[in-house]
Amino acid sequence: MAPDMGEDRSLARRAMKAELLDAKTELRLAYAWRECRDEAALHRLITAYMRLAISMAAKFKHYGVPINDLIQEASLGLMKAADKFDPDRGVRFSTYAMWWIRASIQDYVMRDWSMVRTGSTSSQKSLFFNMRRVQARLERSALAAGKTLDKHQLRQMIAADVGVPLRAVEMMEGRLAGADYSLNVTQSVEGEGLEWIDALEDNSAQAADLVEESHDTGQLREWLITAMQALSDRERLIVRERKMREKPRTLESLGNELGLSKERIRQLEAAAFAKMRDNLEAQSKEVLSFFAA
């Protein structure tokens, strides 16, 4: 931990000693990078505003993210800003860079907060970073006025203040209430080493179910083979080509092969299915009567 803190302080000292750019110099460096891809100009521009990145990163340290990581993300945002900055718009680079730095830090904080995606829309991000602050302000105001707010009232007021639906506040409150836990954590000291994953229900097929399914599938296959054998060669051809191929053939294709019309092929197909249905029903009744005897 100490080396990280020392590195932070060293980086902060170097950033504080960096030059302060006036608007004219800043503009010249921005043009040099955009027009000539002058890396020295880019480096000078980024170094000059590194103090801004560090300052903004420090504002997010209470989210439990290491300050080193926050500074790194802020630096990435600063570099993106330098790459996309348009000096022709007449805006100071520091003003433009603030948006990129903040966006980069916020995205990282939200990714680091939980393995489950916490929010992706602008309203969800606004709620994530402002809900607790707004809640504290509303509670202070109610306390000063001698009022007591229940949870539902407080959620409604937060939703109105931030400008999001009540449901969004309820969902975000649930996400912020708990942290991620590993399923491999031991349930308790007295739990004989049982992990939480051991308490999950196994939804996979059991051995008995697999044996039963295999038996039923085999029985059905035998019944279908017997039913197919009861058909004529032409009927078997039609059933096989129409129902047993990955890409079934058309009535017209079979009609051309057999020298019949499409309507006649359709009639033969219907008759073959009727024969198979009667055969399968007879076989199932025979099995039922055997077990009933």
Write the CB contacts of 76 (distance below 8 Å, at least 6 apart in sequence): 104
Write the CB contacts of 69 (distance below 8 Å, at least 6 apart in sequence): 108, 112
Q: What is the rounded CA–CA span in Å between residue 200 and residue 206?
A: 15
Q: Between the CA of residue 287 and those of 82, 164, 293, what are the distances in Å? A: 79, 64, 10
Phi, psi at 20, each rounded to 5°: -100, 120
pLDDT score, position 1: 38
Q: Between the CA of residue 83 and those of 34, 87, 246, 264, 277, what are the distances in Å? A: 8, 11, 53, 71, 71
pTM value is 0.47
Q: Which helix (H) or strand (E) holds 99?
A: helix 93-113
Q: What is the rounded CA–CA span in Å between residue 284 and residue 216?
A: 12
Q: What is the rounded CA–CA span in Å between residue 239 and residue 231?
A: 10
What is the C-alpha R_g of the chain? Answer: 36
Q: Look up the CATH architecture of domain 1-113.
A: Orthogonal Bundle (1.10)
What is the per-residue DSSP string for 27-84?
Answer: HHHHHHHHHH--HHHHHHHHHHTHHHHHHHHHTTGGGS--HHHHHHHHHHHHHHHHHH
Classified by CATH at the fold level, domain 207-292 comes out as: Arc Repressor Mutant, subunit A (1.10.10)
Residue ranges per domain, the chain?
1-113, 118-177, 207-292
Contact 261, 255 (CB under 8 A): yes
For residue 80, give both structure tokens.
């993106």
Q: What is the pLDDT along the chain (293 residues), one digit of tens a residue?
A: 334 545 556 666 777 777 888 889 999 999 999 999 999 999 999 999 998 999 899 888 877 788 888 898 999 999 999 999 999 998 999 899 999 998 888 888 877 665 445 455 666 677 777 777 788 888 888 888 888 888 888 888 888 888 888 887 777 776 666 555 555 666 665 556 676 566 666 666 666 666 777 777 887 788 888 888 888 999 889 988 988 888 889 999 999 999 999 999 999 999 988 988 888 888 777 655 544 54
* Of 272, 208, 203, the residue nearest 242 (C-alpha): 272
- For tokens 């916020």, what's the residue? 106
Query: Exposed, middle or buried: residue 38 (CB in 10 Å: 0-12, 13-18, 19+)?
Result: middle
